[in-house]
């Protein structure tokens, strides 16, 4: 298996701060209480904590859905979706190295906020997890627009370059609009 670069300890601390801020901003935007946020049933993991099938080379993060069942539960009705946000350290670091205007805190804030919005939409049945390719592309556009809405109201060093980085994802490409 290819060896990918993991975040170092200092970067992990920044990532943890970004995750906490993303949770706060997204839950505030959707007016979720702490218990409602916990009921989303998700976790955010970095590369070091991922299995080989959770690692991808071409995305900054991916959501993997698992079926979680309470211990001792006999009925399938007790099965709940568990979402694992799999941060791809190697892809994030590569993007930061290629674009000096991006910083880790703001970039991970955007990525995690984006993935949390996806999870909220899945949990509220606003989007199917197993959607078609065209529907997934449309959903990406919707979620990028919502992520921009959530984050554009805050002041954070390095956030404007990140919002600009994702600017083209907030509107459909010309060929999608004409299909």
In a domain, 1, yes or no: no
In a domain, 55, yes or no: yes
Q: Where are the beta strands (DSSP E) in the chain?
A: 42-45, 61-69, 79-87
pLDDT band, residue 138 (cuts 50/70/90): confident
The whole-model pTM stands at 0.88
Number of domains in the chain: 1
Instruction: Read off the pLDDT of residues 25-50 as tens digits, 9 standing for 90 and up.
Output: 999 999 999 889 888 999 999 999 99
In a domain, 172, yes or no: yes
What strand order describes the sheet that includes 61-69? 42-45, 79-87, 61-69
In a domain, 3, yes or no: no
In a domain, 17, yes or no: yes
Range with lowest mean pLDDT among 52-61, 108-117, 130-139, 146-155: 130-139
In a domain, 2, yes or no: no
pLDDT at position 71, please? 66
Query: How far is it, in rounded angstroms, from Cα 78 to Cα 71?
Result: 10
In a domain, 74, yes or no: yes
Residue of 108, 66, 110, 62 lying closest to 86 (CA atoms): 62
Domain that holds residue 154: 9-177
In a domain, 149, yes or no: yes
């Amino acid at each position: 298996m290819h060896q990918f670069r993991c975040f170092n300890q200092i970067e992990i601390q920044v990532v943890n701060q970004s995750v906490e801020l993303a949770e706060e901003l997204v839950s505030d935007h959707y007016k979720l209480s702490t218990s409602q946020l916990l009921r989303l049933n998700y976790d955010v993991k970095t590369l070091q904590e991922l299995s080989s099938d959770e690692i991808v080379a071409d995305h900054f993060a991916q959501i993997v859905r698992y079926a979680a069942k309470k211990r001792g539960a006999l009925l399938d009705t007790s099965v709940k979706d568990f979402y694992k946000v799999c941060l791809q350290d190697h892809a994030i670091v590569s993007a930061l190295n290629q674009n000096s205007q991006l910083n880790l805190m703001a970039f991970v804030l955007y990525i995690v906020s984006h993935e949390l919005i996806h999870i909220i939409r899945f949990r509220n049945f606003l989007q199917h997890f197993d959607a078609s390719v065209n529907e997934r592309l449309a959903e990406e556009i919707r979620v990028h627009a919502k992520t921009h809405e959530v984050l554009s109201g805050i002041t954070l060093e390095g956030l404007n370059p990140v919002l600009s980085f994702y600017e083209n994802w907030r509107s459909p490409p010309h060929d999608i609009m004409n299909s």
